Amino acid sequence: MKSPFFFLSISCLFLASGCAHYCVPKPTVNIDDRVRKFYASGSVTLHNNQPSVERQLIMHPGGDSYYANPREWTDVALQLTERELAKRGLHIVSNSGKRVAMAVESVHTEYPDFISVEAHELKTDVVLKVQTSDGYSATYTGTRYDSTAILSHHYNKALAYAVAEMLNDERFIAFLSK
C-alpha cells in the first residue's frame, strides 16, 4: 500500500502542471471601420508563406499554457484579407500575376498579475509579415488591449487589427490598385 505522502505528491504535481490551451482565431471580426475606403479591380493571389506548423507559446499565466500554430493563424489572416479585398472589388484567384505572400510571424500576450491592484488588461500583439510580387515587403502589428475573459474574441480582434494595418498601408493599396 502506498503512503498518503505519495498520493499527496502526485496530486500536487498534477495541480502545478496546469493546462495547455490551443488557440485558433476565427475570421469573424468586421474591420470596415478600421480600414480606409479604396477600390481596386483585377485579380490577386493570396499565399500562406508561413512554413512553421510548430506550436508557439503565446501566454503562460500561472500553471496554464496557451499555444498558437502560426500557419493556422496565417490561414485565418488570409480569409480576412480575401473577404476585405472582395468587398473592394478584387477577385481572389489561384494564379494571378499579382501575388501577396503572408505569414503570421508571432503572437504574444502579456497577462496581468492579478495580485496587483493595477488594471487587469490583456495585451496581445500579432505580427504579420507581407511580401508582394512587385518586391514590397512590410510588417504589421495588430495590438489588442482587452479586459475580457473571452480569449477567443480577444485573439480574433488582435489578428483582424493586423490585417487592418496592412489594408491601410498606402504602398500596399498602390500595389493592389495597379
pLDDT at 38 over 60: yes
User: pTM for the complete prediction?
Assistant: 0.84
Name which CATH class applies to 18-177.
alpha beta
Name the average pLDDT for the chain.
Answer: 86
Give the mean model confidence (pLDDT) for residues 54-83: 91
User: What would the pLDDT profile of 98-110 be if each residue is shown by its tens digit?
Assistant: 999 999 999 998 8
Which pLDDT band, with edges at 50, 70 and 90, does 167 fall under? very high
Give the mean model confidence (pLDDT) for residues 47-74: 90
CA distance 164 to 84: 9
The reported pLDDT for the residue numbered 37 is 92
- Strand partners of residue 140: 128
Which pLDDT band, with edges at 50, 70 and 90, does 114 fall under? low
Residue ranges per structural domain of the chain: 18-177
Residue 150: CB partners within 8 Å, gap ≥ 6?
none
The reported pLDDT for the residue numbered 115 is 45
CA distance 146 to 157: 10
CA atoms within 13 A on the CB side of 117: 0
